[in-house]
Structure 1
Amino acid sequence: MNAKKAKKPKRPVPPPGGRYGTEKERAARGRAARSAAPRSSHAAFTPSAQRTDPVDLIEAQSARRVQELVPIRYGRMSESPFRFYRGAAGIMAADLAGTPRSGLTAQLCGDAHMLNFRLLASPERRLMFDINDFDETLPGPWEWDVKRLAASLVIAGRANGFSDRQRASVVRAAVRSYRERMRAFAGLGNLDVWYTRFEADDLQRQFAPVLGSADRDRWERARDKAREHDTLQAFDKLTRVVGGRRVIASEPPLLVRLADLLPDAEHHALEKRISRLIESYGRSLSSDRRFLLESYRVADMARKVVGVGSVGTRCWIVLLLGKDDRDPLFLQAKEADESVLAPYAGPGAFRTQGERVVAGQRLMQATSDIFLGWERLQGIDGRRRDFYVRQLRDWKGIVVAENLSPKRMKLFGTLCGATLARAHARSGDRIAIASYLGGGDVFDRALATFAELYADQNEKDHQALLDAVRAGRVRAEAA
């Protein structure tokens, strides 16, 4: 008897109006969400009586990292409340879980502080403004990203000596920009939203009427500097010729060649594994980009310390060479751990953490690095870890928060708010979110209050880390 042929599962049929329903239903859903979480309720922040000690949360993250690098993480977070905030996404995620939720979700950056918005290169070699870091990306309440951005502006404003009124103006401008852009996106078609991007040249023309000559000159210099931060610049800065061979120049402890990091047998074993990772991660790229990757050969590799919150995660930089020794490509393979949002928003839909990061980045960014991909790597300790791979440096320009006046931070916050709205509009129900936000400034004012309250909490948490360092509970090193 012939076995019955298994039936193929039916492809789900989208409901009328797409994933979210009709336009009318979506707008109604947004208005109804105000009952569950009034817009004014987002002003509130009161730490839970059961709030976990912030140093305990940081140490729990550090336990999974390279232990010899952990003191550098604590040293960087100790420097200022703003540096602490950059490394404390996990602390804030736990706090945000107890704040009001509209019930509307989007793909989150997960760490949308102001310095994660910067100038980046598009594959077409255009200079763009977009979100940069997606280590914590996950679907979740859209409010969480906006609140992390708002609080970062207040913390940076306090460091710069801004008055209460100036800080409130900065935050309200950023949140208003988010709200107004989301309402504009609600009126656009799906493809129009998807194709929206913020090019540096267009931004200069848009902001020219409100910029003085000094600010226009500063913007020009920022664009030029971003274009100089490319692979060739990294190549000249990070490599040298030894015995006729181009190698990465060690600068311990922040940059160490594998050959200098481990005994011969171990470093050769790890080099082989990382080489296989670079080869096999190409399967996560489109066929044309995989073809381009295969035209390069691996020349050297090193361990690199990056960022503030990421210090201690395994991060390998790999030097590849093309047609000759002046045709370099630097790739960065960075360890991807579980998102700090996962305990509160769910684990997400992807099998590996590297794919989670890459999928979130591709969804939120207007255009992404052509070499962005993911793979798993088995270390010489036998443990399998998830990684995502991208170019080390490709036209990157970052604002120096300490150099921003109230006026310039207000303009920068406005741009960040618009950029975050575009990212959320691609992945979330923009019509429902826009309907929830409305045309008034209730939400803007609420977040200005929240941001001040959370900045107070961040200062207390920063002090807790300083106290832990002084007491010898944790060790901090400057690097």
Structure 2
Amino acid sequence: MPTLDDTSLPPTERAARGRAVRARVPRSAHAAFVPDGKRPDPVDIIERQSAARVPELVPVRYGRMLESPFRFYRGAAAVMACDLGAAPHTGLTVQLCGDAHLLNFRLLASPERHLIFDINDFDETLPGPFEWDVKRLATSLVIAGRANSFTPQECAAIVRGSVRAYRERMRAFAGMRTLDIWYARDDASQFGALLAQPLDKNVRRRVSRASAQAYGRTGLQAAGKLTRLVDGVPRIVSDPPLITPLDELSAGAERDELENTLRGLIENYARTLSSERRHLLGRFHVVDLARKVVGVGSVGTRCWIVLLLGRDQEDPLLLQAKEAGESVLAPYADAEPQEDQGRRVVAGQRLMQAASDVFLGWERAVGFDGRQRDFYVRQLRDWKGIARPETMDPEELALFGRLCGASLARAHARSGDPIALAAYLGGGDRFDRAVATFAHAYADQNERDHRALVEAVASGRVTARTDPAA
């Protein structure tokens, strides 16, 4: 992947380049969000996405998005991409997550078996203006705060703190050596140092509890929950429509062809792994497959879980093969067209994450319907700790927002130019305050868009289905 910004220039010239962008896009300009009469209908955007998805699962997606403005926001990355793409931007390019809302930051296992904090969702990753990720994160904090009945002042303070953490860490990266930036990671045991303040007893207790839960969310635990023995062989438990084994999806020649396609996908994707990881995967063999419903925005994409065994039934490996479509940012970002969407996701993840899953790879497969589809593959679960913002008070959400902002800065500094970015952001809080204003305005718009979906369901324009695991 080419360098996203010209870092071959002397630091003084890179800083001057960053400051010069202020003349074209002042930091205060980021406060603006005023949709005009040409703004597309948000339900139209969501329906266009749904057209390429598994038809019987689309109502589940709408059902999940109906539940709350925050759930809607998680499923409406394409709507926000359209709005961000219509506005002026800095042109300061980084590898974007593309969907940097707060629940896409979580505790993860590194290959060295350390617990780290990082971004975990890269379905929409693409090079683009750094502020798009910052604004997506900031707005999610306001929406989560409103769901907890926080005051507008509390929400604004939470966003300003998150953006300040991003800005100050980017300034720190601007003074670091290139390899030091690349090796930086956010260890769960060092949150106090990352936040530049000691954690109080209650926060330390929550961090400890979250870490313990993450350590327990292993592939072995997932296998115990999702499988059962049938004639002495582990099989994936049926729980339709959320988990549907292959035998329940099709029969006869069609079923055999689908199984061969999926087995071939796993066999061929191994070529995208390094040689030692390919050797490790070769120690396992496929024993069962099932379709799985995941997330909110991803519902309806073709996602498979694959159960493999190593030495015996006590040695399971669960992989997830998830369909990758075009990024929602593609129509708006000035990026090269991506021919292989699975490879796009994996390349973006490896570029942004401090440590990626050892089984992360991609493959293109042709299904029994004759259509070619792109997939990326990774472990289904590996020490993943997920935040629960609904249980947080304002102080706790503020701390979490600062962790997210600092982690996002690290991810952006790996691909963009931290010197130019830091120079643009500056040492004051002008950018922080502007993004907080934007986040409130966009949270208002998100509530209106959520109501539009509620009305579309009530009128019969679209069909929604609730599910117990939502």
Asked if Structure 1 and Structure 2 have the same fold, meaning a TM-score greater than 0.5 normalized by the shorter chain, the answer is yes
2:117 touches 2:188 (CA, 8 Å); kept in 1? Answer: yes
Structure 1 position 92 matched with structure 2 position 112: no
Equivalent residue, structure 2, for 1:244: 232
Task: Extract unaligned runs of 5+ from structure 2.
Answer: none
Structure 1 position 146 matched with structure 2 position 152: no
Whole-Å Cα distance in 2 between the matches of residues 45 and 276 of structure 1?
Answer: 47
SS of residue in 2 equivalent to 1:332? strand
Residues 225-264 of structure 1 aligned to structure 2 (within 5 Å): 225-264=213-252
User: Which of 388, 391, 405 is equivalent to 1:403?
Assistant: 391
1:45 touches 1:454 (CA, 8 Å); kept in 2? Answer: yes
Shift of 1:219: 1.2
Q: Which amino acid aligns with 2:454?
A: L
Q: Which amino acid aligns with 1:394?
A: D
Structure 1 position 133 matched with structure 2 position 121: yes
SS of residue in 1 equivalent to 2:283? coil
Shift of 1:272: 0.8
Whole-Å Cα distance in 1 between the matches of residues 342 and 204 of structure 2?
Answer: 39
Structure 1 position 281 matched with structure 2 position 281: no
Structure 1 position 355 matched with structure 2 position 348: no
SS of residue in 1 equivalent to 2:378? strand
What is the TM-score of this pair, normalised by structure 1?
0.95
Structure 1 position 421 matched with structure 2 position 409: yes
CA offsets 1:198-225 (integer angstroms, 9 cap, x no match): 0111125666954332222121110000
Equivalent residue, structure 2, for 1:433: 421
CA offsets 1:69-112 (integer angstroms, 9 cap, x no match): 00000000000000000000000000001223112110000000
Equivalent residue, structure 2, for 1:7: none
Equivalent residue, structure 1, for 2:369: 381
CA offsets 1:317-363 (integer angstroms, 9 cap, x no match): 00000011110110000000000000001453543000000000000
Give % identity: 65
Residues 31-430 of structure 1 aligned to structure 2 (within 5 Å): 31-203=19-191, 210-346=198-334, 348=336, 350-430=338-418
Shift of 1:62: 0.1
Q: Which amino acid aligns with 2:420?
A: A
Greater Cα offset, 238-247 or 366-375: 238-247
Whole-Å Cα distance in 2 between the matches of residues 165 and 364 of structure 1?
Answer: 32
Whole-Å Cα distance in 2 between the matches of residues 20 and 163 of structure 1?
Answer: 46
1:120 touches 1:396 (CA, 8 Å); kept in 2? Answer: yes
CA offsets 1:360-407 (integer angstroms, 9 cap, x no match): 000000010000000001111000000000000000001101011100
Whole-Å Cα distance in 1 between the matches of residues 305 and 53 of structure 2?
Answer: 17
Q: Which amino acid aligns with 1:111?
A: D
CA offsets 1:157-210 (integer angstroms, 9 cap, x no match): 000000011001000000000000000000001001000000111125666954
2:6 touches 2:417 (CA, 8 Å); kept in 1? Answer: no
SS of residue in 2 equivalent to 1:343? coil
Shift of 1:453: 0.2
Task: Give the superposed CA RMSD.
Answer: 1.5
Equivalent residue, structure 1, for 2:459: 471
Q: Which amino acid aligns with 1:172?
A: R
Q: 1:28 to 1:423 in 2, by over 3 A?
A: same
Whole-Å Cα distance in 2 between the matches of residues 425 and 35 of structure 1?
Answer: 23
2:194 touches 2:403 (CA, 8 Å); kept in 1? Answer: no
Shift of 1:21: 1.4
Whole-Å Cα distance in 2 between the matches of residues 287 and 346 of structure 1?
Answer: 34
1:363 touches 1:426 (CA, 8 Å); kept in 2? Answer: yes
Greater Cα offset, 254-263 or 111-120: 254-263
1:93 touches 1:341 (CA, 8 Å); kept in 2? Answer: yes
2:192 touches 2:198 (CA, 8 Å); kept in 1? Answer: no
Q: Which amino acid aligns with 1:403?
A: T
1:138 touches 1:348 (CA, 8 Å); kept in 2? Answer: no
Q: Which amino acid aligns with 2:200?
A: G
Q: 1:63 to 1:266 in 2, by over 3 A?
A: same
Equivalent residue, structure 2, for 1:3: none
2:64 touches 2:466 (CA, 8 Å); kept in 1? Answer: yes
Aligned structure 1 segments of 4 or more residues deviating by more than 4 angstroms: 204-210
2:183 touches 2:354 (CA, 8 Å); kept in 1? Answer: yes
Equivalent residue, structure 2, for 1:9: none
Number of residues of Structure 1 aligned to a counterpart in Structure 2: 465
Radius of gyration: which is bigger?
1
Whole-Å Cα distance in 2 between the matches of residues 357 and 261 of structure 1?
Answer: 27
